[in-house]
């Protein structure tokens, strides 16, 4: 069972806090999957966009109280209060549990491919009979060393640092999920640290390059609209791909989107400009998706590169570069680092600081643009 603290916006405009007890799923006689959930409504509420000191104080107190209740329920669950602890749970194989989690977590193709790759290395290191109860600190550290020193790609090359970081984090997420659902009881397994995330080269577009793309035809108009929307808003591919019309709010002259981040599962809201709203197009009441026919695949990636080349851009651009572009443009045009952190949905400002380093490098380049003066002092 998984216990989660959830939020729901009410018609009154307030946000209700409640707990969800997810007990898995089953299939009915017609093969349809039915998710088993129970709820505990805490009768605690938040004010959306609090303005006064009192509203902010009450929001903070109610959220802290909800989180305390959440912690108590999780503790009760681990102690067996809900009758969920099943000794047979621990005997589920690592392979089987990872496959279940893979299907639940990877709702779009690019992420699915990553989980498939992680499974390939799990199979190489762990024996097929390994159960969750047999996972130890030593075996987790051993798998980390395996990825670092012994694992190779299909082409026979060692894994890049970013790949090792990504793969091991998914394995750690699997162990954490197994603990939260009661399959594993040793919380010390959660303390194994990941690889250090190295600062990587982040390709981005200048405003002039984005303008050039806007002026250039693209074979897939939906790809053009989605990419430019990401350049303006910073939304990830996964969130744009699944964006639905019921998440788009048009309120007088303001436009907002309320969405759950695919990566973090957090509920977010974002103001978007009129220009960004125009890229979404007219509201379609017959199809819930905003970017209809936007698909992930090699054809989409190839067309993105062709479109960039037609626009005179020789950088190696992927869809995620649009998110980097949005962040650097925000900083370039005067936004502070904290605002950009909230804009991108980062939890830690250290994640956002990479963009400040990019701007520092740009300023260093700008300092040397002027020709050398013939000085006579």
Strand partners, 148: none
Range in 58-62, 204-208, 218-222, 356-360 the model is least confident about:
356-360
Residue 283, token pair as written in the block: 């509201």
Instruction: Give the alpha-carbon dihedral of 164, 197, 343, 320, to 10 degrees.
Output: -40
Nearest to 240 by CA among 290, 195, 206, 281: 290
Question: Could you give the C-alpha distances from 297 to 111, 304, 335, in angstroms and in order?
Answer: 12, 11, 34
Residue 24, token pair as written in the block: 């898995």
Residue 84 scores a pLDDT above 50: no
71: left (phi > 0), else alpha (psi -120 to 50), else beta?
alpha
Domains 89-191 and 207-367 in one fold? no
CA distance 6 to 46: 12
pLDDT at 21: 85
pLDDT tens for each residue of 317-337: 889 899 889 988 888 888 887
CA atoms within 13 Å, Cβ hemisphere of 222: 12
pLDDT at 32: 75
Q: What is the mean pLDDT of residues 120-127?
A: 94
Instruction: Spell out the alpha helix ranges (H) of 136-284.
Output: 137-145, 161-180, 207-214, 221-233, 237-241, 274-280
Residue 374 scores a pLDDT above 80: no
Percent over 90 (pLDDT), the chain: 34
Q: Which residues lie below 8 Å from residue 100, measured CB to CB, with a gap of 6+?
A: none
pLDDT at 85: 45
Nearest to 261 by CA among 272, 270, 249: 270
Nearest 5°: the CA angle 145, 147, 148 is: 60
160 DSSP 8-state letter: P
Find tokens 């788009």 and name the residue: 248
pLDDT tens for each residue of 262-317: 666 667 788 899 999 999 999 988 889 999 989 877 678 889 999 999 999 998 88
- What does the buried/exposed string (b/e) look like for 208-238 if buried means 16 or more CB atoms within 10 Å of the residue's CB? ebbebbeeeebebebbbbbbbbbbbbbbbbb
H or E stretch including 23? strand 14-27
Residue 347, token pair as written in the block: 């939890």
pLDDT at 141: 94
Nearest to 87 by CA among 52, 132, 120, 42: 132
Cβ count within 10 A of residue 243: 21
Cβ count within 10 A of residue 51: 8
Domain range 207-367, its CATH number among 3.30.499.10, 3.40.1390.10, 1.10.443.10, 1.10.220.10: 1.10.443.10
Instruction: Show me where the domains of the chain are located.
Output: 2-78, 89-191, 207-367
pLDDT at 155: 83
Residue 233 scores a pLDDT above 70: yes
Residue 264, token pair as written in the block: 């973090």
**C-alpha distance across the termini of the chain, in Å:** 77
Residue 356 scores a pLDDT above 90: no
Q: Which residues lie below 8 Å from residue 254, measured CB to CB, with a gap of 6+?
A: 271
pLDDT classification of 88: cutoffs 50, 70, 90: low
Provide the 3-class DSSP secondary structure of residue 266.
coil
pLDDT tens for each residue of 35-64: 888 888 898 999 988 999 999 999 999 999
pLDDT tens for each residue of 135-155: 999 999 999 999 999 999 888
The crossing angle, in degrees rounded to 10, of helices 161-180 and 94-105 is 100
- The CATH classification number of 89-191 equals 1.10.150.130
Range in 64-73, 189-198, 312-321 the model is least confident about:
189-198
Range in 51-55, 218-222, 251-255, 344-348 the model is least confident about:
344-348
């Amino acid at each position: 069972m998984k216990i989660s603290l959830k939020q729901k916006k009410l018609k009154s405009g307030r946000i209700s806090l409640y707990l969800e007890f997810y007990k898995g799923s089953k299939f009915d006689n017609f093969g349809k999957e039915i998710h088993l959930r129970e709820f505990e409504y805490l009768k605690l509420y938040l004010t959306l966009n609090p303005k006064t000191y009192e509203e902010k104080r009450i929001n903070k107190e109610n959220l802290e109280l909800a989180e305390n209740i959440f912690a108590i329920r999780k503790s009760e669950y681990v102690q067996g209060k809900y009758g969920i602890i099943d000794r047979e749970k621990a005997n589920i194989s690592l392979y089987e549990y990872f496959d279940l989690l893979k299907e639940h977590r990877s709702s779009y193709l690019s992420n699915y491919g990553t989980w498939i790759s992680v499974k390939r290395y799990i199979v190489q290191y762990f024996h097929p009979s390994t159960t969750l109860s047999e996972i130890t600190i030593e075996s987790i550290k051993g798998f980390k060393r395996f990825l670092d020193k012994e694992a190779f790609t299909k082409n026979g090359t060692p894994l890049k640092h970013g790949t090792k970081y990504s793969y091991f984090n998914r394995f750690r997420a699997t162990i954490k999920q197994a603990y939260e659902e009661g399959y594993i009881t040793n919380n010390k397994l959660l303390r194994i640290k990941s690889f250090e995330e190295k600062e990587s080269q982040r390709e981005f577009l200048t405003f002039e390059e984005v303008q050039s793309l806007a002026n250039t035809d693209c074979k897939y108009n939906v790809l053009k609209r989605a990419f430019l929307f990401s350049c303006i808003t910073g939304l990830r591919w996964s969130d744009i791909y699944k964006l639905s019309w019921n998440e788009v709010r048009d309120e007088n002259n303001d436009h907002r989107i309320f969405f759950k981040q695919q990566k973090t599962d957090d509920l977010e809201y974002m103001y978007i400009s009129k220009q960004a709203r125009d890229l979404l197009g007219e509201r379609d009441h017959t199809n819930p998706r905003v970017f209809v026919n936007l698909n992930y695949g090699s054809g989409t990636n190839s067309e993105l590169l062709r479109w960039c080349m037609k626009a005179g851009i020789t950088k190696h651009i992927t869809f995620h570069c649009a998110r980097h572009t949005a962040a650097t443009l925000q900083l370039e045009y005067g936004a502070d680092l904290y605002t950009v952190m909230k804009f991108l949905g980062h939890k830690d400002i250290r994640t956002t600081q990479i963009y400040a380093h990019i701007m520092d490098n740009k300023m260093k380049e700008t300092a040397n643009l002027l020709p050398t003066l013939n000085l006579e002092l």
